[in-house]
Amino acid sequence: MDIKIVNGKDGLAKEAANYIVEHLKKRDASVLGLATGSTPVGTYKELIAMHKEGKVSFANVHTFNLDEYVGLKNTDTNSYHYYMKELFFSHIDVPEDQFHLPKGTAEDIEAECHTYEKLIRQTGGIDLQLLGIGTNGHIGFNEPGTSFQSRTHVVTLDESTREANARFFDAIEDVPTHAITMGIESILEAKDILLLVAGKEKGEALSELLYGDVREDIPATALRKHPSVTVIVDTEAYQAAKIPGEENLYGG
């Protein structure tokens, strides 16, 4: 893994956006895997600014998001369809038929999972996958215990994940209990992976990723099996990550 340490969330956002733009300079007709949640928001803002400055175009890009809640319509303000359109897609030049998310309201959710996998394959596979990491080590919505051989599937969300996402809803009771997510094997098929880690609350998950055993109860450790992973970490997360036998990565 290539580890880059940056100052604060602004530094993380700039570093990540620059990484993505450099990737697109090499291959403008790229297939990007995208993430939601709070961590990539700044990165999307930076990419929008760079697009408006003429530094990057998304006209030839195809995108696939990691996940979507089951049961939320695309127009629901808490759906990831809405999130992506409001925070990113409506501000750049990506054509509407070139960005994709799972359909959380599909009549047959299992069939939708297979359809999504097929569409990714037909588009040529993901060139660069953007990821965040959960406090319990999840990537996408692949909760602890998810098989490393999993493909796009329906998951029951861990209570810690629902609690972490409750800030986006009126009440935790409104947070869906299920979601569609790309599986771990699906994620690992991306040619390159960019993982963003921000905040001291992610320190333990970062420590497990870097120093723990590769095991299914910490899904992010599967990334150690991938040949091309870049991890951008802010100083808060970095300082909170513990090395075995030491207080933290700074040794105190």
8 A C-beta contact, residue 135 and residue 202? yes
Full-model pTM: 0.93
Contact 191, 125 (CB under 8 A): yes
pLDDT along the chain (252 residues), means of 10: 95 98 95 95 98 98 97 94 97 98 96 97 98 95 95 91 86 92 98 97 95 96 98 95 59 38
Which of 46, 68, 127, 143 does the annotation list as catalytic?
Answer: 143
pLDDT value at residue 251: 40
Q: From edge to edge, which strands make up the β-sheet containing 31-34?
A: 2-6, 229-234, 192-197, 128-131, 31-34, 62-65, 99-100
| Nearest alpha carbon to residue 189 among 142, 147, 131, 127 | 127
Residue 250's CB is within 10 A of a number of other CB atoms, namely 12
Task: Report the half-sphere exposure of 127 (CA within 13 A, side-chain side).
Answer: 16
pLDDT of residue 142: 95
Among the options 65, 136, 142, 165, which is catalytic? 136
Known catalytic residue at 216: no
DSSP code for 91: G
d(CA 188, CA 228) in angstroms, rounded, equals 10
Distance CA 242, CA 151 (A): 31
Q: What is the DSSP string of 111-144?
A: HHHHHHHHHHHHTT--SEEEE---TTS-BTTB-T
Known catalytic membership, residue 138: yes
Radius of gyration of the chain, Cα coordinates, nearest whole angstrom: 17
236 annotated active-site: no
Which among 15, 67, 127, 234 is annotated as catalytic? Answer: 67
Catalytic residue among 138, 142, 234, 236: 138
pLDDT of residue 243: 65
pLDDT at 245: 54
Count of beta carbons in the 10 Å neighbourhood of residue 169 = 14
pLDDT at 110: 96
What fold does the segment set 2-225 form as a domain? Rossmann fold (3.40.50)
For this structure, is 143 an active site residue? yes
Q: What is the pLDDT of residue 252?
A: 36
